[in-house]
A and B are shown apart, each in its own frame.
Chain A
Amino acid sequence: MTGWLPRSPRARRRLTLLAVIAPILALAAGLTLWGLRDSISYFYTPAQADAAQPPAGRSVQLGGLVVDGSVLYHSDGRVEFSIRDNLAADRIHYRGDLPDLFREGQGIVATGAFRADGVFEARQVLAKHDETYMPKQVADSLKAQGEWRGEGAPRTAP
């Protein structure tokens, strides 16, 4: 009935294992490739975003310093503000939690997408201590300003 199967029980076991492993690995590999193509978000500073022109609606991360005097609070919890790097600035609209360390001059990273009119609609805003990826320029200027650096705060030399 199962004449095409190998005789040896060990070989059969190996074949069974392979039959289980192969589809699962194929599934994992497929999902991973798909995920890495579609679910990653690029990181830009305002100047880099100008250069790269990400299509409207595409999820990206935008990082920079909150421009002094640009923050506008609405009574329903919506916030508008601008962030900048050394060369350019972008306007951000956000409805959600601002991190505790959000303030003017602070380095932040917003996740969201550009609208067709060029305004960045943020889904999430992370401040310095919450961020995962920080543009070097922003991080460096933060250090120059003596902003808090958590555990990595410049130590008085040992």
Chain B
Amino acid sequence: MIVEFGAFAMILALVLSVAQVGLSAVGRLRRSALLAGAGEGAALAGFGVLTLSFAALIYAFVISDFSVANVAANSHSEKPALYRVSAAWGSHEGSMLLWNIALTGFGAVLAWRGRALPRDLKASALAVQGLIGTVFLAYTALASNPFVRLADPPVEGRSLNPLLQDPALAVHPPFLYAGYVGMSVVFSLAVAALIEGRIDAAWARWVRPWALAAWSFLTVGIALGSYWAYYELGWGGWWFWDPVENASFMPWLVGAALLHSAVVTEKRGALPGWTVFLAIAAFSFSMLGAFLVRSGVLTSVHAFAVDPTRGVLLLAILLVFSGSAFALFAWRAPSLTPGGVFAPISRESALVTNNILLSAATLTVLLGTLFPLIREAVTGEAISVGPPYFNLTFTPLMALLCVVVPFGPLLAWKRGDLSPAVRALLPALVLGVATGLAALWLLTPRKAFASLGLALAVWLIVGALTEAAQRIRLFKAPLAESFRRLRGLPRGAWGATLAHAGLGIFVLGACFETAWKMEAAQTLAPGQSLRLGAWELVLKDVRRLDGPNYEAVTARITALRDGREVCALSPSRRFYPAGGQTTSEVAICSVDVSHLYVVLGERREGPGGKPVWLVRGYWNPLAVLIFAGPAVMALGGLISLTDRRLRLAPGRRREAQT
């Protein structure tokens, strides 16, 4: 009964979505506050109803109602409760429902919070947002319905892929979708602004918080996915340039470009057309991601392999929405007023350079991701474009970007002066070069590119701090004055500093880990040990230790450094009878910000018929920074976001200051 209620609620949300389009559009055309208000009501109600629908799906998973096809295919009665809940968005159908929740949710927030928006723009944006919602809800209800019942239900479900039964992956999709779909509001506002014919500084100010929120969510989502791959796949790697990873990375890159170009449009009124273009492109890349992941044209560990018809539908949705938006853009763009003029050396120029580099990088990733598809369609040859391609194309562009980043915030708008900026950045330059040289000198094996990467990382971090120090006139004014300035610093400035420093932290971890990680493997009998650089891993014993829905063997391994015990690790191998699969659970020991990473391999026959186990150890130096960097970046985004709210509600800001 509850499942039927869920299906009904989903259809009701679809109807409300249609109502939202109609009411908002007619409300806009007749300039009727009543109708537009009703459209807002429909947006709020649609979100509420869809939440109930999702709750019904989760309920079906929690009680293991295997008469529902989706539950039977993806759940199992012995699965822990958390993974029964997360299985609700582990499949294609359930995750489409989650996608729609995010879509209607963002629409509801737009209806509820968008009071600062002019009425016409808001009504148009809600109509566009409603249209996106209608199409995706219709797709879910007609082609990917998660509530379909089975005529004769199985006794037991087929269970979720054990690799996906993991806490990080349980929360990864909600963040990722909040990011992907958050770009839909940016898209709607861009299309609405093109329809209304007004794209100015005020429009950029309305768009920026949405882009910021979506980008921050996406940052967290991608980082969680990467962390999952790092400890669950057991290869010690954290980014594989897998097509599906790229699919989530491209909207992130475009989103980052959009954040920066929106600042230029907001503060200086310049580049309005480019900002609108990016706003449309960001959500287009989100939809492209949905198509790539769900169509089955690419298979990877993250992909939902579904039948091609559904993929074709998603491709059609992508082409219609992006196509019409870009057509509208082409039609309206010539009438956009070009904004303020700026000199070659200015903050605008720095941000433009940032945008060009980010866009070029996005294009190289796009080409690398789609090239195998194109090549196979044209010549029939199967090829793969792997990390070597991306290291060659993406990395140099990003390295250039890292060089430019610290300059941006230090240059004045309109006409900047390079020499004070260079002088301010002198400490960053000196520290960066010193780090690079030290790395070249001290670290073995000697790696020039990685050392350059470390130099850039230090340049980024110190550069970001330099900018903050300059804002508070550190060491140039009395400390009390600096402290007063520190407290008065706008949150947006903090956000930028943190995001740029976070990028530096990530680059530091990524370069160090990639270049100087160590690995060793050996079959060990209990009592034997494995050498890994300065480490000695002693296998104490291997025991049987079963979990709720799996059988497992767990090893106890002691890690000694220079003869002293530093940590105890328990990697294990699990066998899931429901799917007949084996997974290995990595054990990670954090030593400062580095990871000792140990994998238990399969059991083999040793000499004399005694059992031995293959133990693999990795030393991943500074690995924590790879995930801490994005966390700091996302934190920067969120802090910037609180700044907007304070500025939009001036009354409260005054209160906060007293």
Cα separation A141 to B65 with both chains bound (whole Å): 32
Inter-chain contact B234/A61, CB cutoff 8 Å: no
A-contacting residues, B352-408, CB 8 Å: 352-353, 356-357, 360-361, 363-364, 367-368, 371-372, 381-386, 388-390, 392-393, 396-397, 400
- Some 23 contacts from A to B, beta carbons below 8 A apart, are A24-B353, A25-B356, A32-B364, A35-B388, A39-B385, A40-B371, A41-B383, A43-B382, A61-B384, A73-B604, A76-B522, A96-B521, A97-B235, A130-B233, A131-B300, A132-B242, A132-B298, A132-B384, A133-B382, A148-B161, A151-B304, A155-B73, A156-B150
Complex contact B383–A43 (CB within 8 A): yes
**B: interface residue count bin:** 35 or more
Assembly CA distance A28 to B392 (angstroms): 10
Binding site of B, secondary structure by majority: helix, strand, loop or mixed?
mixed
**Is there contact, CB below 8 Å, between A152 and B381?**
no
Most buried by B among A27, A76, A132, A158: A132
- Interface residue ranges of B339-359 to A (CB < 8 Å): 341-342, 344, 349, 352-353, 356-357
Are B582's CB and A77's CB within 8 A? no
A117 at the interface (CB under 8 A from B): no
Chain A residues positioned under 8 Å from B304 (CB to CB): 151-152
B287-321 vs A, CB cutoff 8 Å, 1 = contact: the mask equals 00000000010111101111000000000000000
> A43, B384: Cβ atoms under 8 Å?
yes
Q: Is the CB of A36 within 8 A of B69?
A: no
**Chain B residues whose CB sits within 8 angstroms of the CB of A96 once the complex forms:** 521
For window 143-158 of chain A, which residues contact chain B by CB distance below 8 Å? 148-153, 155-156, 158
Interface size class of A (residues with CB under 8 A): 35 or more
CB distance from B402 to the nearest CB of A (A): 14
Give bound CA distance, A150 to B371, whole Å: 25
Q: Is the CB of A40 within 8 A of B393?
A: no
Is A77 within 8 A of B353, CB to CB? Answer: no
Q: Is B165 an interface residue (CB 8 A)?
A: no
Min Cβ gap A69→B in Å is 15
For A37, give the chain B residue with the smallest CB separation.
Answer: B389
What separation, in Å, do the CA atoms of A133 and B298 have in the docked complex? Answer: 7
Across the interface, A40 reaches (CB within 8 A) one of B145, B389, B522, B606, namely B389
Known A41-B384, A77-B614, A97-B234; contact A133-B523, beta-carbon cutoff 8 A = no
Cross-chain contact B392 with A149 (CB below 8 angstroms): no
Tell me if B579 is interfacial: C-beta within 8 Å of chain A: yes
How many whole Å from B194's CB to the nearest CB in chain A? 23
Cα separation A32 to B396 with both chains bound (whole Å): 11
| Interface pair A97/B72, CB less than 8 Å apart | no
Partner of B72, one of A32, A61, A100, A156: A156
Q: Are B389 and A131 in contact (CB under 8 A)?
A: no
CA distance A61 to B387 in the complex (A): 13
Distance in angstroms from A57 CB to nearest chain B CB is 14
Beyond known contacts A133-B382, A148-B581, A158-B145: 10 more, CB 8 A cutoff: A19-B344, A28-B397, A35-B392, A36-B389, A39-B392, A75-B522, A77-B522, A132-B299, A132-B384, A158-B69
Chain B's nearest CB lies how many Å from the CB of A105? 13
The 0/1 profile, CB within 8 Å of B marked 1, for residues 99-133 of chain A is: 01100000000010000000000000000011111
Quick check: is A34 within 8 A (CB to CB) of the other chain?
A: yes
Residue of A whose beta carbon sits closest to that of B73: A155
Q: Residue A10 contacts which of B145, B341, B390 (CB distance < 8 angstroms)?
A: B341
Least Cβ–Cβ distance between B83 and chain A, in angstroms: 15
Are A32 and B393 in contact (CB-based, < 8 A)?
yes
Q: Report how far A20 CA is from B356 CA in the complex, Å.
A: 8
- Choice from A16, A39, A135 contacting B349 with Cβ under 8 Å: A16
A135 in contact with B235 given A75-B523, A148-B579 (CB within 8 Å)? no
Instruction: Return A82 CB to nearest CB of chain B, in Å.
Output: 18
Residue of A nearest to B298 (CB): A132
**Is A65's CB within 8 Å of the partner chain B?**
no
CB of B392 within 8 A of CB of A34, answer: yes
Instruction: Say yes or no: is A88 at the interface (Cβ < 8 Å to chain B).
Output: no
Residues of A within 8 A of B599 (CB): 97
In the complex where A43-B382, A100-B234 touch, is A31 in contact with B396 (Cβ < 8 A)?
yes
Given contacts A35-B393, A97-B235, contact A25 B360 (CB under 8 A): yes
Distance to closest chain A CB from B250 (angstroms): 15
